[in-house]
Amino acid sequence: MKKFLSLFISLVLITTLLAGCGPKQGTSQTEEDTPKSNTTETTEAKEKTPEKEQTTQTPTTETTTAEQKIIFALHDVPDGIDPNVTNNSFATPFLSNCFEGLVSINEKNELAPALAEKWTISEDGKTYTFTLRDNLKWSDGSPLTSADFMYTMERILKPETTCQNVTMLTDYVVNALACYEGKVPFDQVGFKAPDEKTFVIELMDPASFYIDILSLFIYCPVQKATVEANGDKWTLSADTYVVNGPFKITKMNMNEAIVLTKNEHYWDAANVTLEEITFRMIKDQATALLAFDSKEIDGMRSVPMADFARLKAESNDLHIVPSYATSYYLLNNAQPPYDNVLVRKALNLAVDRNSLIENVLQGNAIPAYSLFAPGYIFNGKDFTEGRSNYGLSANANVEEAKKALAEAGYPNGEGFPTMKLSYYTSPQVKLIAEALAQMFKENLNINVEITNSEWAVYYAEVQAGKYEVAAMGVGADYLHPMSFAPVFISTEPTNDTGYGSKFYDEKIIAAKKELDPEKMLNLIREAEDILMEDYPFLPLYHRSSSLLMRDYVQGWTLSPTGNFCFKYAKVVK
C-alpha cells in the first residue's frame, strides 16, 4: 500500500512539475483559473458571470494593444550596439531602428537618401560630396552636423575603438589606412567638412559600389558629447545611448527586454507611426514560438526549422525574405586529395541540392551553383540572370560525379581516404552535414567521418586551415556582388580555402576600379567564371531568412542583408 501511495505522490509531483514548465504561459493560465476556482463555492448562475466578464475584457485588452505598440522576440544578445564598432548580425534590429547614416536601403532594397539630402560624385569617381538635411537633431535635441561625421570618422580610425568593419574605411578612403596605422594625422585623411551641412569623402581609387558601402552601420555618426562623457559605456544605458534614427531606446536590459520609443527629434518623425517596440530576448526559439502562439508577442525572428514546414502550410504570419547570402562547404584546396580539381568537381556533382532544400531545409532556400547570390538588380536585371550553372544541377549527377572521381584516380571511390566532414554545433547545420555525408557515401562510395565543435573553436580551426571539408557561409555586408568577392581573393585574410588564382584576383581588382557599373558587373562575372572552373568549394544554397509577424503589423522591412527596420511600420486592426 505504501508503494502505491508513494507512486501516486510521485505522479502528482510529476504532473505539477510539468504544469510548472512552459514559458510564462502559466501566468495567463492562473489569471483564467482564479475566477473559476472562486466560483466553485458559489452557485451555477453566478459561475457564468465571471466568464462573461472575461469575454468582455478581452476586446478591451485588444483595443489597448491596437495602440501603436508591438512586442517582438529576438533570440540572441549582440556583442554590443555601438554602430561603429559592432559587425554582429544580432545588433541589427537595434541599429537599423536607432541609427541612420548618409544613405540607407529602402523597402524596395534600393539605395535612398537618409541623413544626406543629396550627393554628387565627381567625374573621376573619387570625390563624394554630401549635403545633409536641414534641422538634423540627435535624440537629446542637440543639432547633428557634419562635425559629428568628422568626429565619428576620427573615432573609427583610432585602433583603440576596435571597429570590426574598419576595412570598409581603410580600403577605400585616402590615407585612412595610414591614419589607422598611426602614420599620418587625421586631418590628412580624405574626410572633409567644409561647412555644417556638407561632408566630403575622397577615395583612393574610384569604386562605383562605394555608395552601397555607405549604408553600412559603421558609417553612422555617433554623438561626441555622450561618447566622450561615458567612454565605451555609452551604449550600456538608455540615458547615454544618444541616437539619430526613427526610434530611441528608453529601457535597456539586454538579457530581458529593450524598449524602443519613437524619437521625436528624428527628421522624418512625422512619417513614423509606431510608438513603441519592445524587443524581448527569448533565447530558445521553440519557447518564442509558444509565446507567439499564445499571442504574447507579435513577432519573432528565426523560426525553428523543424516547425517551418508546419507554419508554412498552416500560418499566414510566416514571412520569408531571401537573404543576400550563400551557404557552402569549404574544400581544403591545400590538402590532398582535395587539391585535385577533379575530386572537387566530383563532390560538387554528387550533391543533390534540391533534395537538401526540399527535405532538410523545407524549401527555405534556392540551390547555389556559385559564390554570388541573386538579389542585386541593375537596370531591372538580376546579376545572376544569364549565368551558367557551371555544369552543376539542382539534382545530383551521379554518373558524371563518378566519372570525375575515376579520372582523379579513385574509380568507384577506391583508395579515397576517409573524408573528415566538420560542422559547427547547430541543429540545422547538423542535419545538412548528415545528409551530405550520406550523399557522398551513396553516390561516390566515400567513407565519411563527421565531427563537430562549437563555433569559436570551429572557426579558429578553419582559419588555421585544419579541416578537410567544412561547413561555412557568407552573408553580404552591403547589397552588391563585390561584397562576396573577398572570400577567394588570395591576399585576403578572410580567404580560408587555400585557393588562390591570380586571374581571379586580377579580374576583381579590375572590377573594383571600373567606373561603369555594367562593365564592372561583367568583370565580376568573368571572375566568377574563372573561379568556378576550379570548383574551389562546394556551393549548396542561397538561404532565406524567415520571421513570424502578425498580419496587423504592416510596413516593416527586412532587407536581404539583414537590416530589420520598423520605421514605416504600423499596427492596423
Partner 1 sequence: MSKEIIVSPADWEPLDIENDLREKIWSTQRTFAEDVWFRFSHKKSAFAGLLIILLLMLFAFVGPYLTPYSFDTQTLDFSNIPPLMEVTNVDDNLFYITANLKVIHVGNNGKLLAALPKLKEDTAQKIIYYDFNGRELPLSYQKKPAAILNHEGKRLRRDNKVWNTSYWLGTDGLGRDLLTRLMYGTKISLIVALIATFVNMTIGMIYGGISAFAGGSVDTVMMRIVDIISTVPLTLYVILIMVIMTDGFLSIIIALSSVYWVTMARVVRGQIYSLKENEFVYAAKTIGSSQSTILFRHLLPNAMGPILVTATMMIPSAIFMEAFLGFIGIGIAAPMASLGTMCNDSIQALRSNPYQLFFPSLMICIIMFAFNYVGDGLRDALDPKLKK
C-alpha cell of 470?
Answer: 567544412
Give whichever of 89 and 451 is closer to partner 1, judged by the CB atom: 451
Cell numbers 549565368: residue: 387
Q: What are phi and psi of 305, to 5 degrees?
A: -60, -35
**Site residue total, partner 1 (CB under 8 A):** 37
Q: Which of 306, 366, 406, 408 binds partner 1 (CB under 8 A)?
A: 306
Between 427-444 and 305-314, two packed helices, what is the crossing angle to 10 degrees? Answer: 100
Q: Cβ 441 to partner 1, closest distance in Å?
A: 8
Report the site for partner 1 in 442-481 (rule: CB under 8 A): 449-452
33 vs 442, which CB is nearer to partner 1? 442
Q: Which is nearer to partner 1, 342 or 431 (CB)?
A: 431
Name which of 355 and 501 has its Cβ closer to partner 1: 355
The reply to whether 437 sits near partner 1 by the rule CB under 8 A is: yes
- Shortest separation between residue 291's beta carbon and partner 1, angstroms: 12
Q: How far is the CB of 460 from partner 1 (least distance, A)?
A: 14
Give the residue among 369, 324, 381 at the shortest CA–CA distance from 522. 381
Contact indicator for 331, 338 with CB cutoff of 8 Å: yes
| Residue 322 interacts with partner 1 (CB under 8 A): yes or no | no
Element (H, E) at 424: strand 419-424
Our finding on whether 162 is near partner 1 (CB under 8 A) is no
Q: Which residue, among 333, 369, 356, has the nearest Cα to 437 in the 3D structure?
A: 356
**Shortest separation between residue 396's beta carbon and partner 1, angstroms:** 11
Q: In the complex, what is the shortest distance from the CB of residue 307 to partner 1, in angstroms, rounded to a whole number?
A: 5
Site string for partner 1, 334-373 (x = CB under 8 A): ------------------x--xx-xxx-xx----------
Contact residues for 522 (Cβ-Cβ < 8 A; gap 6+)? none
Q: Should residue 394 be labelled a site residue for partner 1 when binding is judged by CB under 8 A?
A: no
Q: Are 200 and 192 in contact (CB under 8 A)?
A: yes
Residue 345 CB, nearest approach to partner 1 (Å)? 23
Minimal distance, residue 435 CB to partner 1, in Å: 6
Choose between 388 and 438: whose C-beta lies nearer to partner 1.
438
Among 133, 197, 312, 319, binds partner 1 (CB under 8 A): 312
Taking CA 413 as the corner, what is the angle to CA 461 and CA 356, rounded to the nearest 5 degrees?
Answer: 65
Q: In the complex, what is the shortest distance from the CB of residue 302 to partner 1, in angstroms, rounded to a whole number?
A: 12
With both helix axes pointing from N to C terminus, report the angle between 517-533 and 502-513 in degrees, rounded to the nearest 10: 170
Report d(CA 369, CA 357) in Å as an integer: 14
Cell of 263: 524619437
The correct pick among 122, 162, 389, 425 for binding partner 1 (CB under 8 A) is: 425
Identity of the residue, 236 or 306, whose beta carbon is nearer to partner 1 in the bound complex? 306
Under rule CB under 8 A, residue 434 binds partner 1: yes
| Nearest-angstrom CA–CA distance, 13 and 20 | 10
Residue 303 interacts with partner 1 (CB under 8 A): yes or no: no
Radius of gyration of the chain (CA): 27
Candidate list 140, 205, 307, 461; residue touching partner 1; CB under 8 A: 307
**Minimum distance from CB of 282 to partner 1 (Å)?**
15
Which residues share a beta bridge with 350? none
**Helices marked H in 294-426:** 305-314, 341-350, 353-355, 398-407
Tell me the closest approach of the beta carbon of residue 553 to partner 1, in angstroms.
20
Q: Which region holds residue 187: left if phi is over 0, alpha if psi is between -120 and 50, else beta? A: alpha
Whether the Cβ atoms of residue 161 and residue 84 lie closer than 8 Å to each other: yes
Helix (H) or strand (E) holding 460: helix 455-463
Instruction: Please give the helix or strand (H or E) that residue 539 lies within, else none.
Output: strand 537-549
Interface pick for partner 1 out of 198, 315, 340, 445 (rule CB under 8 A):
315
Q: Is 433 in the site for partner 1 (CB under 8 A)?
A: yes
Annotate 167-192 with three-state secondary structure.
HHHHCCECCHHHHHCCCCCHHHCCEE
Q: Partners of 365 in the beta sheet?
A: 543
Single out the segment in contact with partner 1 by CB under 8 A; choices: 262-270, 274-282, 285-293, 464-472: 285-293
Select the span of 308-316, 375-383, 492-500, 559-567 touching partner 1 (CB under 8 A): 308-316
Strand 299-301 to 537-549 pairing: antiparallel
CB nearer partner 1, residue 181 or residue 449: 449
Which stretches of the chain bind partner 1, using CB under 8 A? 3, 286, 289-290, 304-310, 312-316, 352, 355-356, 358-360, 362-363, 425, 427, 430-431, 433-435, 437-438, 449-452
